[in-house]
Amino acid sequence: MDIEQAIRESLKANDLALWSASGAHVFNSETAIADLTHSVKTRIGQLVADGERWQAAEAEGHIVTFSETGYGLMHPPSCRPDLIGCRFNAHLADLDEPAREPGRYQMREVGLAGFDYKPQP
């Protein structure tokens, strides 16, 4: 069943009516159905795009940028609810000096206490 058909079935099943001074009018306007169908399809498209961006950010993982004076760390979406408890953050905070030359790196955990840095563009 496509979106427009589902909307039509829902309207029929719920017998939606608009009440006005002149009485009840069954809600079956083709324009309203087309507008609602378009709105639903647009929102579904937005949700799919949001999901794709989330998946891409999640796949990228932790990205650290080292400079001469410190570092910046970008977390994947799944890590953001607990940034203070992030193992990557704790590891970087414990370093006395940058782990790599200045630049951008993808960090990943290796073994029990190790981290790997893959250069990024």
pTM: 0.59
In which band, very low, low, confident or very high, does the pLDDT at 1 lie, cut at 50, 70 and 90? Answer: low
What integer is the mean pLDDT of 36-47? 83
Handedness of CA 41, 43, 46, 50 (dihedral sign): negative
User: For the ranges 14-23, 29-38, 97-106, which has the lowest average pLDDT?
Assistant: 14-23
Query: What percentage of the chain has pLDDT greater than the value 90?
Result: 15
Distance from chain centroid for Cα 108: 21
Distance from chain centroid for Cα 90: 25
Quote the mean pLDDT of the chain. Answer: 79
**Are 3 and 37 contacting, i.e. CB atoms less than 8 angstroms apart?**
yes
66, burial (CB in 10 Å: exposed 0-12, middle 13-18, buried 19+): buried
User: 7 or 66, which is more confident?
Assistant: 66
